[in-house]
Structure 1
C-alpha cells in the first residue's frame, strides 16, 4: 500500500513554531533521537491520539466515540446471535 497522505514539512514547521517551547523542544529531541523527520513524528502523534492502532494519517480511523460505541454494540449483538458470549471488560 502506497501512503500518500502525509503532513508536509512546511505545515509541520508552522505547527512546531506554534507549540509551547517545552513541547516543541521535546518533539524535536525525540525526532532527533529516533532519527525520523519531525513531520513524521507529528503525524504519528496526532494519528495515534485519534486511533491507537494506526501508524500514520493514511490508516487512521477518525470515527467519533459514539460511532465506535455503535459498532461495538452491533458486533456484540452479532456475537450473541451466533450463540457466543461477549467477555466483560474491566472498567
Structure 2
C-alpha cells in the first residue's frame, strides 16, 4: 500500500456511510509521508475534523429528541384479567 492509496481510502470513507467505517490502524511499513502529499493529508485531517463536528451535532439533536420523547407520559392500559395460574 502506498500513501496515495491510503489517502484515497480515507477520502472515500469520508464520502461514504460512517456506520460502515471500521477502526483504523496505520498500515505497517508505510514509511514517512512524502512531501508532495502533505497538503492532501492535511485536507483529509480537516475533512475528518469537520465530519466529526457534524456527527457530534447530529448526536446532540438525536439526544434532544429522545429526551423530549422520554418526557411524554406513558399510558398503560388497565389489565383486563388476573392470571392466577402463571
TM-score, normalised via structure 2 length = 0.30
The structure having more radius of gyration, on CA atoms, is 2
Higher relative contact order (CA 8 A, sep 6+): 2
TM-score, normalised via structure 1 length = 0.28
